[in-house]
Copies of this chain bind each other. A is one copy, B any other.
Amino acid sequence: MSTDVKYAIQDVYPDDFSWCYGCGRLNEKGHHFRTGWGGDKTVTIYTPKAEHTAIPGFVYGGLLASLIDCHGTGSASLALHKKNGYMPEDGVEAPRFVTASLQVNYKKPTPQGHSLKAVGTIEELHPKKYKVHIEVFSGEICCATGEVVAVKMPESFGQSS
């Protein structure tokens, strides 16, 4: 299993939108999930910390949900950026997506102390809306699956509630 994502879409998110606790490169306390292309799939690799426990020895489900969430928005951003002609390594600011819905199925207890690999398959629902089908592996074992519907962040995001 590869242990790193060389060119991540989060590296080219606009600074103002790079504070996400899951994947923002500027959030010092966050997870720093990084999502890149792996062929026509998308990949995020992360090793949970010791405190990310469900019961001792196994990974917290909320951490898996967080990984799936940010992997979903990152995958959608990768897809639209590619459609616009860019790869993360081009250094061009990428579009930012937000999660409309998140679904997670926990298949197997996920052992701690190992890196996890989220693999995404992208489905375009609309030019500004993607569904990402995600599998999370520990070694060869698929521990969780999920789906994220990600929508391009509206210009008005956060300006009204």
| A interface residues (Cβ-Cβ under 8 A, vs B) | 16-17, 19-22, 24, 27-30, 51-58, 60-63, 65-66, 69-70, 98-106, 108-109, 111, 141, 153, 157-158, 161
A21 touching B53, Cβ below 8 Å:
yes
Report chain B residues within 8 Å CB of A63. Answer: 21, 66
Sample (19) of A-B pairs whose CB atoms are under 8 Å apart: A19-B53, A20-B54, A20-B60, A21-B53, A21-B63, A22-B61, A24-B53, A54-B98, A55-B157, A55-B158, A58-B158, A61-B98, A62-B65, A62-B69, A65-B65, A100-B105, A102-B102, A102-B103, A141-B161
Inter-chain pairs besides A55-B153, A55-B157, A101-B106, 11 sampled, C-beta below 8 Å: A21-B53, A21-B60, A21-B63, A22-B62, A30-B51, A30-B53, A55-B158, A62-B66, A65-B65, A98-B106, A109-B157
